[in-house]
Structure 1
Amino acid sequence: MELYTRITQNEPVTANDTVRLAELRAWGLIDYDPAAPDTPVAMPPRDAGWRMLHAGLQDLAARAAQMAVVPAAADQLNQAFERGKWSAGSGSEFLSEPATVNARIQDALGQAREELLAAQPGGPRTRENMDIALERDSAALGRGVSMRTLYRDTVRDDALTSEWATTMAGRGAHFRTLASPFERVIIVDRKVAVISNYVVPDAPEHAAWIVSDRAMVALLAQVFEQEWRRADPWHGERRAHKADTGAAGARTSRLQREIMRALAAGEVQESAAKHLGISRRSLQRELEALRTVWRTATTSIGELTYHWALSPDRGIDDQAVEQAA
């Protein structure tokens, strides 16, 4: 204030005023005449005040806009933080991207030295999957790795998977099939396991978890062994189709009974097909076959469920039949 008053009265400034002159100029209260660059000129305080107020309001608006996005940004960052905690020393690591999942699985399988256990409920193999796995699995067998794979019973009808099993069985791999549902898991040397995602909501379909906790991997291996004991050995041979799959007097196949149990429990056809590891078209063919068995003119789920409720096959205990066999 004192320096500004002196400038308005045209009093000279000194070297001691340098810092305060810079402050006054920053506020817009003084300027310099190009013709006399060493002589400060007082500017109207009201105009300078409005300019400072406008600049301050703009700064506040920018800060308010920045603060407004903080909660949403923090939520997004927190998701990454929580996922990071999942993989930090907990023995489990979440993988969301299919390419990452496949790369990690390939790496884990390539590191196997003693044993590979795989439960694959997803149905028949594709030619692409076979080509990828042929060299890798053959190399594992060549270095003495024991390899056992559990498939759904439906793969016995698939030419490509039968070809795969025949080829790999000849090289020392072991296969079994199971008609009832089971969970997907890959276990390497009983040290690392890969399982499907049941934790992260809305994750991609092929998301997975890498499990390295010793106790959990041991439990998964024990579950695999239980399913393996219930399953039927398979060397890749295609099966001859017949209605009776082992139950005396049965008019329906094991797969047809599994389908009807799922539909009677309220599952829609698409869900039942996925659950049983078959295509929607295969399920439709089995329903068409049941129409012939029960001599009904329609394949509506309601009518088929009615016939299933009255069918003696409904009382067949397929697991007991397997154990007896």
Structure 2
Amino acid sequence: LDRLLPIQRADFKGIFKAMKGLPVTVRLLDPPMHEFLPTAAQLEVEIAHLHQLRDTIKALEDLPETLKMLNPKLYQQYADGLTPLMGALGTFKKSHMEDEVIAKKEKILKKVRALAEVNPMLGHRGVRLGITYPEIYCMQIRAILEAAALCGKQGIEIYPEIMVPQVATVEELKRIHSYVQRIRQEVRATHGIDVQFKFGSMLEVVRACMRSGRMAETAEFFSFGTNDLSQATFSFSREDAENKFLPFYNETGILEDNPFEVLDIKGVGQLMKMAVQNGRATNPDLKVGICGEHGGHPGSIRFCHHIKLNYVSCSGPRVPIARLAAAQAKLLEDQYQEPV
């Protein structure tokens, strides 16, 4: 993490400069830790090959003495070639086959097995990772605020926003907020600048939507992560659903659309609508948006405008469609009717 800090700080500084005068929302680490490590199967194969290679090198090292003992004439015949071979083996062994190389891979394998989960996308990820390993989130928060302070010293207009993923409880959000406030004071003492920023939460867990009124006491903005929220609401795994039964559901009319491509207004949308209303009852100035694939779908954008979201966020190629759909949603807002 100490090595990552300057890299992340430089990245954020570059982003803030490029986005001068515009808000930049940084989502703290979301994926589970195992995604940053090799698979157990891959490590097991590598370790097995290293052990086999070490045994082979040892056998080759014993070859001269074995030949001397079993066939001295044959040894004499190949002695000139064996000497440089032994030297090369020694060099290779020293650089590639030290015991610590194998020990390091075995240590990583042990960690991979310890981090293994039955359902990692519902497991140790997002804010849960940031609370059990606070040093990870603290490094990211420090990198964001230090980058913002450095830009501020250069007179660059910046609007950083720190967003926490996978939040389910108010206490989780408060815990991360306490990290942010502590680091903010440290950055102010170090750089002499009180960095101004917004602190918010993703709403991608059903419980967070139900508790949005309390969440808004701490969060200054919400962003609906509708991919995860759709999975949670339907109790579908997207990959499994799309590869198994979802096409059949669409063909037979059980579901009109793929809910991961078109926002499910009747279910997920109602959760969003309730969360916006309850959040703004607590904080009328609450900024609320949506991020992900649905943010580029015209019909989904019309619903987002209807429930008074401030923005939609989508991938670059979908931006022209999203801008056009947002304009149409505004022009036709009086004609909009929610599906029943």
Length-normalised TM-score, structure 2 = 0.28
More contact order relative to length (CA 8 Å, sep ≥ 6): 2
TM-score, normalised with respect to structure 1: 0.29
Q: Which has the larger radius of gyration?
A: 1
More helix per residue: 1 or 2?
2
